[in-house]
Amino acid sequence: MKNPLRTAVLLALAVLAAAQVRDPLPVPDLPGYRTLKCDFHMHTVFSDGEVWPTVRVSEACAKDSTPSR
């Protein structure tokens, strides 16, 4: 080990790079149905956000909810 600082930096970068890899959970379609995966995570006054959940619902309703094909 000629340079322990260089080794530590390279090791830290390798760990950070490996942490960015996502292995998504496979969700199969059921016969006759199309499975959709959604992320319902949101920030409101009940966590670290600045708005009420009703504002987030209004934002979602204001967006075009028609799925693109």
CB 62 within 8 A of CB 55: no
Cα distances from 58 to residues 27, 35, 62, 65, in angstroms, run 29, 25, 6, 12
What pLDDT, on the 0 to 100 scale, is given for residue 66? 59
pTM of the model: 0.39
Residue 18 lies in a domain: no
Residue 39 lies in a domain: yes
Residue 4 lies in a domain: no
Residue 37 lies in a domain: yes
User: Residue 5 phi/psi, 5° resolution?
Assistant: -65, -45
Contacts (Cβ under 8 Å, ≥6 apart) of 46? 53
What pLDDT, on the 0 to 100 scale, is given for residue 67? 57
- Domain holding 49, by residue range, is 25-64
What pLDDT, on the 0 to 100 scale, is given for residue 5? 87
What pLDDT, on the 0 to 100 scale, is given for residue 31? 93
pLDDT in tens, 9-61: 888 887 777 666 666 778 888 999 988 888 888 899 999 989 999 998 898 88
Task: Give the number of domains in the chain.
Answer: 1
